[in-house]
Amino acid sequence: MGSGWQAQQIELDLKLISSPMKAAKSPAFQFYPGDFLSSSTVQLMEPQEVGAYLLLMCHAWQSNRHGYLPSCEDRLRRLARLTVKQWQRSRVIILDKFPEVSGEPEWRYNPRLVREAEKQALRRENLAANGRKGGRPSFKDLDTREYLDNESQSEGCKLPPKVGQSKLESGSLTKLNGS
């Protein structure tokens, strides 16, 4: 009887973790393969540990709080799709990537995902601010705009060719032997 209640609780927790996101949340995070593959921790992981880590990162991103997961190990194990035996063997290396939140022991987080969420939130705020200004950031003084306009037209400063235009047509290549 206790196991049925526990299964219902886990199902409820999974729904909370992967509930539909609010409009302000991003559906994706930047993934840097070079950083991931060069991580000394990832290099030491067995294939099922790499898969478990990626699954936990995806669940952490989909949570109501980007980058965070509940700290209950049985729930984490199930989200990572590992057996009890696999979890016992792999838990230390996986949980190393999700430390407990200071002052909130019921939560774990992935520092990189939290930083990515903060970067995305800042970018959204900047884009919204620029949108309120008419879609483009305004120059604080006209001299800067004039300088940029003059600089792009100055001798020796060639603009890159337009799409479909050859480098010769754009003037960025000089004819050889005066022909």
How far is Cα of residue 97 from the mean position of the Cα atoms in its chain? 15
Please say whether the beta carbons of 75 and 111 come within 8 A: no
Residue 2 pLDDT exceeds 60:
no
The edge-to-edge listing of strands for the beta sheet with 100-101 is 68-70, 104-109, 100-101
d(CA 62, CA 68): 9
Please say whether the beta carbons of 47 and 90 come within 8 A: no
Tell me the pLDDT band of 1, cut-offs 50, 70 and 90.
Answer: very low
Residue 147 pLDDT exceeds 70:
no
Is pTM beyond 0.85? Reply is: no
